[in-house]
């Protein structure tokens, strides 16, 4: 097996440089544990940005994947396959929505939802073609495709990639009045994350999701929740909108829908909206493959059978409380929902990326979101003992970091 150094050199030489990864190579994983080529073990508190809610190599998902591989893996979408029908049925039953459009990446699921509501605008709402406006939030993250970055409010994601797709208006996240004021005759939908993940684990004010639901119904526009990161148990409910019973017209899922094995995403929605797209107008070669659908269906079963949402609801607050109780100097805020947790550092601490590097040395994997927020999104299968061990290492590492920081600057503006 190649060493860490050899893999890094080869990847840097031959791979594209659109990521700047840590100097860490992972070769093996099991549950919430991963190993590098030299055999060093790490606790995974990042969980693949929520792609690993089931942990690495979940035995039931692996068994289903192997069994399906022995039957058939890919079927062209001009034919049908049983796992596709079954996975769609499971997701409809879990969400209370009507139809499932399987895709691969999270960004593709968002693209699908955009096309669905634009088609609905023309075919059902009676808008002239090319008029539809979609309202989104500032500080959003919905993926990296050209249309999706067109409505990012981060210049860094957007500026080099024009010309951009028009048709999007921004309102501040969590501001119901601004949303109401932004709706015009041309508005077809409001698209938002229930909690902004990549934006720094930002929670909206309590009640906002329910208010958004009421407003969208009253104004006759579609509500799209992007649950790619928050969905599938992460926040302590199967879907984050369930915290306020704010059932959407359309919902996007991804990440953990692939059971920690492969990319699977979906746009799920009410019939009235989903049926606005006609055969041939949208699709994906691999979206809906029997292999992906078997994995997704099993991933959903595991979430329910192992009560992984309930685990997130129980363990996440315990982890947050432990960090708060440590009263760490240099930490401005500890926030989150379920097992989606953000630890905001004082700017004088030197940035959350540096903290991630120190944590890797101490055997814990995490990743910053925005410059000063450390994100914890552990696999939901993690044992309480492992989670608390990881939290304790994080607390200790933040103390180490504070010892090296400009403490005068921190106490001058806490």
Ligand X SMILES: Cc1ncc(COP(=O)(O)O)c(C=O)c1O
Shortest distance, position 325 Cβ to ligand X, whole Å: 29
Shortest distance, position 237 Cβ to ligand X, whole Å: 16
For the question of residue 175 being annotated catalytic, the response is: no
User: Which candidate in 44, 141, 273, 297 is catalytic?
Assistant: 141
Out of 139, 187, 211, 229, name the contact with ligand X by CB under 6 A. 229
CA distance 98 to 88: 9
For residue 25, what are its two tokens? 């190579």
Out of 52, 176, 221, 228, name the contact with ligand X by CB under 6 A. 228
Shortest distance, position 227 Cβ to ligand X, whole Å: 7
Give the residue from 261, 263, 266 showing the smallest Cα distance to 94: 266
336 binds ligand X (CB under 6 A): no
Closer residue to ligand X in complex, CB, 100/410: 100
111 binds ligand X (CB under 6 A): no
For residue 238, what are its two tokens? 């199967």
What DSSP element (H or E) covers 251? strand 250-253
Q: Where are the beta strands (DSSP E) in 187-247?
A: 187-192, 222-226
248 binds ligand X (CB under 6 A): no
Out of 42, 141, 168, 273, name the contact with ligand X by CB under 6 A. 141
The answer to whether 36 and 363 have CB atoms below 8 angstroms apart is: no
Size of the site for ligand X (CB under 6 A): 15
Residues in Cβ contact with 346 at an 8 Å cutoff, skipping those fewer than 6 apart: 330, 331, 332, 372, 405, 409, 410, 414
For the question of residue 286 being annotated catalytic, the response is: no
User: Which candidate in 151, 237, 239, 255 is catalytic?
Assistant: 255
Residues 393-412 that bind ligand X (CB under 6 A): none
Closer residue to ligand X in complex, CB, 113/302: 113
Shortest distance, position 318 Cβ to ligand X, whole Å: 24
For the question of residue 371 being annotated catalytic, the response is: no
Closer residue to ligand X in complex, CB, 29/254: 254
Give the residue from 130, 119, 106, 143 showing the smallest Cα distance to 222: 119
Shortest distance, position 304 Cβ to ligand X, whole Å: 22
The answer to whether 370 and 382 have CB atoms below 8 angstroms apart is: no
Burial call 374-408: b when 16+ CB within 10 Å, e when fewer: bbbbbbbbbeeebbeebbebbbbbbeebbeebeee
Residues 142-171 that bind ligand X (CB under 6 A): 142-143
106 binds ligand X (CB under 6 A): yes
105 binds ligand X (CB under 6 A): yes
User: Which candidate in 44, 125, 173, 226 is catalytic?
Assistant: 226
Out of 48, 254, 258, 288, name the contact with ligand X by CB under 6 A. 254
CA distance 160 to 158: 6
Out of 193, 244, 249, 368, name the contact with ligand X by CB under 6 A. 193
Residue 407 φ then ψ, to 5°: -70, -30
Q: HSE, CB side, 13 Å, CA atoms: give it for residue 222.
A: 32
CA distance 379 to 403: 30
**Which residues are catalytically annotated?**
141, 226, 255
**Chain residues in the site for ligand X (CB under 6 A):** 49, 105-107, 110, 141-143, 193, 197-198, 226, 228-229, 254
């Amino acid at each position: 097996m190649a060493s860490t150094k050899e893999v890094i050199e080869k990847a840097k030489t031959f791979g594209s440089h659109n990521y700047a990864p840590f100097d860490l190579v992972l070769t093996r994983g099991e549950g919430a544990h991963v190993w590098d080529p030299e055999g060093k073990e790490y606790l995974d508190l990042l969980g693949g940005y929520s792609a690993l809610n089931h942990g690495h190599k979940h035995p039931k998902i692996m068994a289903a994947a192997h069994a399906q591989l022995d039957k058939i893996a890919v079927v062209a979408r001009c034919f049908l396959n049983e796992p596709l029908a079954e996975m769609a049925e499971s997701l409809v039953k879990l969400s209370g929505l009507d139809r499932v459009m399987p895709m691969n990446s999270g960004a593709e699921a968002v693209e699908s939802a955009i096309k669905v509501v634009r088609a609905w605008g023309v075919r059902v709402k009676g808008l002239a073609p090319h008029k539809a406006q979609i309202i989104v939030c500032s500080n959003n993250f919905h993926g990296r495709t050209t249309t999706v970055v067109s409505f990012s409010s981060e210049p860094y994601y957007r500026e080099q990639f024009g010309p951009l797709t028009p048709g999007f208006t921004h309102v501040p996240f969590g501001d119901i009045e601004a949303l109401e004021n932004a709706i015009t005759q041309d508005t077809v939908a409001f698209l938002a994350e229930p909690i902004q993940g990549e934006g720094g684990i930002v929670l909206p004010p309590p009640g906002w999701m329910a208010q958004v639901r009421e407003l969208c119904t009253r104004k006759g526009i579609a509500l799209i929740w992007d649950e790619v990161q928050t969905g599938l148990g992460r926040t302590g409910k199967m879907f984050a909108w369930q915290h306020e019973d704010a059932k959407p017209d359309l919902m996007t899922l991804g990440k953990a829908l692939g059971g920690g094995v492969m990319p699977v995403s979906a746009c799920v929605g009410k019939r009235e909206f989903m049926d606005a797209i006609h055969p041939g107008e949208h699709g994906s070669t691999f979206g809906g493959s029997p292999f992906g659908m078997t994995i997704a269906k099993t991933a959903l079963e595991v979430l329910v059978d192992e009560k992984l949402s309930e685990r997130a609801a129980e363990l996440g607050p315990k982890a947050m409380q432990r960090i708060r109780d440590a009263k760490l100097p240099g930490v401005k805020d500890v926030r989150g929902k379920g097992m989606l947790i953000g630890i905001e550092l004082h700017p004088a601490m030197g940035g959350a990326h540096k903290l991630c590097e120190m944590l890797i040395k101490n055997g814990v994997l995490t990743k910053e979101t925005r410059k000063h927020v450390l994100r914890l999104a552990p696999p939901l299968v993690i044992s309480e003992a492992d989670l608390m061990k990881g939290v304790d290492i994080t607390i200790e590492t933040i103390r180490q970091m504070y010892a090296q920081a400009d403490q005068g600057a921190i106490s001058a503006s806490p």
